[in-house]
Amino acid sequence: MVRYLLLILLLVGCQQFTYTTSNGEIYGTSYKYRYIHPETQELDPLIPEKIEKELNRIDLIFSTYKENSEVLNTSIEEMNSWSKDLKYLYDLSLNLSEISKNSFDPLQGGILDFSAVAKGYAVDKVADILQENGIKDYFIEIGGEIKAKGLAPHRGNWKWAIEDPFSMNQKIFKSFSMPSKGHSIATSGEYKNPGHIWGGGPRDVANVTVLHESATYADAWATTMYVLGTKEGLKIAENEQIAVFFIKKDGETLNSSQWSRIYP
């Protein structure tokens, strides 16, 4: 069930900002998004319905639990008949697999499974709908994969945090204020859908967070970095200019130089 809520936020000086927020369930997890209405244009009132339709369309392509999904009814031999979305994520996966020496592989056991990247892809698709409608300030989250841009309803930067991998009570490990130009955020670890981590991860990694312009790539790189571990992960992160932040099991933190450029 999806709920839509239109709110008027009153700020200092009696200036009004209208924003829409929505939340629901998809892909076996939860989602939510919020966007501020531009002051100079009237928005299409069907944007929430269009987003819901797009989320369901993606689910029918990549779902591993719906019998009529595309991935459960095709094979590599039938690649020529694949949808554009499936071909895109497959090609992306092959590219990351080559860079990471097969640490990112959607064909484990010969079965197509894009669970480690499909949520990020869906986040990007929602962002596309918002941006096509002239929306510049928004926050999207699907199953922990995040994309945000512009300013929050209070006209300050969007806030986000890394969950403490050593806490059972969703304690915050470290919080951040996102630059207004925005980015996407994805996290992998033993407490984040471990069934989607192919081959497990090195024993020194408790959590890894990746920042990227694309939520699809952030999602894919987070999984890849977790599998690689700190040593190999940081080496590739420097070569590919990936912003990555590791929390080791002993509590030590490590990050790439690209991360330091965003969050000094």
Burial class (CB in 10 A: 0-12, 13-18, 19+), 40: exposed
Give the domain range for residue 45. 3-262
Domain count, the chain: 1
Q: Mapped to the 3 state alphabet, what secondary structure does 105-149 carry?
A: CCCHHHCCCCCCCHHHHHHHHHHHHHHHCCCCCEEEEECCEEEEE
Domain of 104, CATH number, reads 3.10.520.10
Kindly state the tokens that stand for 48: 């929430």
Confidence at residue 57, expressed as pLDDT on a 0 to 100 scale: 98
Q: For residues 245, 249, 250 and 256, what is the CA-based torsion angle, rounded to 10 degrees?
A: -20
Query: Is 49 in a helix, a strand, or coil?
Result: helix
One pLDDT digit (tens) per residue for the chain, 264 residues = 344 344 433 333 334 578 899 999 999 899 999 999 988 888 999 999 999 999 999 999 999 999 999 999 999 899 999 999 999 999 999 999 999 988 888 876 678 899 989 999 999 999 999 999 999 999 999 999 999 999 888 878 899 999 999 988 888 999 999 988 999 999 998 754 444 444 555 568 999 999 999 999 999 999 999 999 999 999 999 999 999 999 999 999 999 999 999 999
Query: pTM of this prediction?
Result: 0.90
Torsion of CA 66, 67, 71, 75, to 10 degrees: 170
